[in-house]
Amino acid sequence: MATLPQLIEEDIQKLNEILKEFLSQTDATTALIIDKGGFLITHQGRSSEFDLTTIGALASGAFMANQTIAGLVNEPNFSSIHQQGENFSIFCCNVDEQVLMVIIFRCHVGVVKYFVATAIKKVAAQLEAARQRAPGEGIDLSVLNVANTEDVFRKKDQ
């Protein structure tokens, strides 16, 4: 399975710009980029009232479950799912093999669907650029070389 590339500051900045532009075009509330394993990569828009980490995990699970259903009805791909609510709606769409875009919005879904097509192309292009970058151009994780990991997670009473 291909993996998500290491993302440097420039990647995150560009992804954030794409999301900001999308939000201004659609008047949507919040836009997230997540990977299909459930990780939140970045987001723009209102975030304080939402638990975006959990939304990312659940949205990826729901999307991937729908992909599996698609396979069961011999449909090669459901590219998006839309859940309409009274206050907020959620639209989740495929970006590439690894990544999804999730939009929380109050506005009309038609506007979201129209502008998201351009946004996901830009997001996919930025991720591809990150993928093409030399693999060494990332963080040196040797800073994490801790001799003892017993203290990484500690019980309260210890």
Partner 1 sequence: MAIINQATKELQVKIVYYGPAMGGKTTNLVQVHDHVQTAQGNKGKLVSLATSSDRTLFFDFLPIEAMTIKGFKTKFQLYTVPGQVIYNTTRQLVLRGCDGIVFVADSQYEKMPENVESFQNMLDNLTSLKLNIADIPYVLQYNKRDLPNAAPVEYMEFLLNNREVQVPSFTATGHKCEGVFETLNMITRLLLHKFINQSQSHGAPQPA
Tell whether residue 117 is a contact of partner 1 (CB under 8 A). no
Q: What would the two tokens of residue 131 be?
A: 């993928």
Assess 157 for contact with partner 1 (CB under 8 A).
Answer: yes
Q: How far is CA 85 from the centre of its chain?
A: 21
Task: Give the count of residues interacting with partner 1 (CB under 8 A).
Answer: 48
- C-beta closer to partner 1: residue 84 or 149: 149
Residue 67: C-alpha distances to residues 28, 40, 77, 118 (Å): 25, 20, 6, 22
What angle do helix axes 109-132 and 9-26 make, rounded to 10 degrees?
Answer: 170
The answer to whether residue 96 forms part of the interface with partner 1 (CB under 8 A) is no
Sign of CA dihedral 19, 22, 24, 29: negative
Q: Is 154 in the site for partner 1 (CB under 8 A)?
A: yes
145 is a site residue for partner 1 (CB under 8 A)? yes
Task: Choose which of 76, 84, 87, 153 interacts with partner 1 (CB under 8 A).
Answer: 153
Spatial strand order of the sheet with 80-83 comes to 40-45, 30-35, 99-105, 89-94, 80-83
Q: 124-143 mask for partner 1 (x: CB under 8 A)? A: -----------xxxxxxxxx
Phi, psi torsion values for 84, nearest 5 degrees: -90, 130
Among 17, 20, 49, 61, binds partner 1 (CB under 8 A): 61
Give the residue with the Cβ less far from partner 1, 57 or 109: 57
44 contacts 19 by C-beta, under 8 angstroms: yes
Task: Give the interface with partner 1 as residue ranges (CB under 8 A).
Answer: 1, 3-4, 6-9, 11-13, 35-41, 51, 53-54, 57-58, 61, 64-65, 68, 135-146, 149-158
